[in-house]
Structure 1
Amino acid sequence: MAQGQQSPRWALTRGSFSVALSLSLILLLLLTATASASEEYDYYSWQSDNFHNGRFYTKQPMCIDIPTDLRLCHNVGYKKMRLPNLLDHETMPEVKQQAGSWVPLVAKRCHADTQVFLCSLFAPVCLDRPIYPCRSLCEAVRDSCAPVMETYGFPWPEMLTCDKFPIDNDLCIPMQFAGNHPSPPTVPKVCPPCDNELKVDHIMDYYCASDFVMKMKIKEVKKEKGDKKLIAAQKKKKVLKWGVLRKKDLKKLTLYIKNGANCPCSQLDSLSSNFLIMGRKVDQQLLLTSIHKWDKRSKELKFAIKFIKSHQCPTFHPIFQ
Structure 2
Amino acid sequence: MKMTMTTATARRRGPASPAEAATLVLALLFLTSSAAAAAAEEYDYYSWQSDNFHNGRFYAKQPQCVDIPGDLRLCHAVGYKRMRLPNLLEHETMPEVRQQAGSWVPLLAKRCHGDTQVFLCSLFAPVCLDRPIYPCRSLCEAVRDGCAPVMETYGFPWPDMLQCDKFPVDNDLCIPMQSSSAGHATQAPASKVCPPCDNELKAETILEHYCASDFALKMKIKEVQRDRGDRKLVAAQKKKKVLKMGSLRKKDLKKLVLHLKNGADCPCAQLDSLAGSFLIMGRRVEQQLLLMAIHKWEKRSKELRYAIKHIKSQQCPTYHTVFQ
Give the TM-score of the pair, scaled to structure 1. 0.85
Judge conservation of contact 1:72–1:115 (CA < 8 Å) in 2.
yes
Deviation at 1:223, TM superposition (A): 1.0
Residue 273 of structure 1, CA deviation: 1.7
Residue 94 of structure 1: which of 93, 96, 104 is its match?
96
3-state SS, counterpart of residue 280 of structure 2: strand
Q: Unmatched 5+ residue regions in structure 1?
A: 1-5, 48-52
Q: Pick from 79, 82, 88: which aligns with 1:80? A: 82
User: 1:48-69: per-residue Cα shift (whole Å, max 9, x none)?
Assistant: xxxxx67654531011111111
CA distance in 2, matches of 1:165, 1:212: 36
Give the C-alpha shift of residue 125 in structure 1. Answer: 0.8
CA 300–40 in structure 1, closer or farther in 2 if over 3 Å, else same: farther
User: Percent identity of the aligned residues?
Assistant: 70
Query: Are the aligned partners of 1:44 and 1:56 in contact in 2 as well (CA < 8 Å)?
Result: no
Instruction: Give 1 or 2: higher helix fraction.
Output: 2
Match of residue 251 from structure 1:
254
SS in structure 1 opposite 2:142? helix
Whether the 8 Å CA contact 1:105–1:320 is kept in 2: the answer is no
Name the SS for the 1:295 alignment partner.
Answer: coil
Paired residue secondary structure (1:69)? coil
Equivalent of 2:118 in 108, 116, 140 = 116
Measure, in 2, the Cα distance between the counterparts of 1:89 and 1:155.
21
Q: Does 1:198 find its partner at 2:209?
A: no
Cα distance in 2, alignment partners of residues 267 and 221 from structure 1: 12
- The equivalent of 2:270 in structure 1 is 267
Instruction: Give the distance between the partners of 2:206 and 2:233, measured in 1 at CA.
Output: 20
User: What SS does the corresponding residue of 2:199 show, helix, strand or coil?
Assistant: coil
Matching residue's letter, 1:87: L
Distance 1:304 1:43, change over 3 A: farther
Name the counterpart of 2:303: 300
1:43, 1:57 within 8 Å by CA — same for their partners in 2? no
Contact 1:86 1:124 in 2 (8 A): yes
Cα distance in 1 between the residues matched to 2:32 and 2:166: 25
The gaps in structure 2 that reach 5 residues or longer are 1-14
CA distance in 2, matches of 1:133, 1:45: 23
Residues 141 and 164 of structure 2 are in contact (CA less than 8 Å); yes or no, is this contact kept in structure 1? yes
Alignment check: 8 A CA contact 2:283 2:289 kept: yes
SS in 2 for 1:150: helix
Root mean square deviation of aligned Cα: 2.9
Q: Distance in 1 between matches of 2:177 and 2:53?
A: 23
**1:84 and 1:7, CA in 2 relative to 1: closer, same or farther beyond 3 A?**
closer
- Give the alignment partner of residue 287 of structure 1, picking from 285, 290, 294: 290
In structure 2, the CA distance between the partners of 1:264 and 1:43, relative to structure 1 (3 Å rule), is farther
Report the residue type matching 1:239 in the other structure.
Answer: V
**Aligned length in residues:** 302
Is 1:233 paired with 2:236? Answer: yes
Determine which of 123, 136, 139 is the counterpart of 1:137: 139
State how far apart, in whole Å, the 2-side matches of 1:171 and 1:46 are. 22
Q: Does the Cα contact within 8 Å between 1:23 and 1:176 map onto a contact in 2?
A: no
Once the two structures are superposed, residues 112-142 of structure 1 have per-residue CA deviations (whole angstroms, 9 ceiling, x without a partner) of: 1101100110011110100111111000000
Distance 1:24 1:167 in 2: 26
8 Å Cα contact 2:219/2:278 also seen in 1: yes
Amino acid at match of 1:213: A
TM-score by length of 2: 0.84
Counterpart in the other structure of 1:50: none
Relative distance call for 1:308 and 1:105 in structure 2 (3 A) is same
- Give me the whole-angstrom Cα distance separating, in 2, the residues matched to 1:318 and 1:231: 31
> Cα deviations across residues 244-271 of structure 1 (Å, max 9, x unaligned)?
1122210000000111111111100100
Mapped to 2, the partners of 1:183 and 1:86 lie a distance apart of 26
Distance 1:7 1:261 in 2: 52
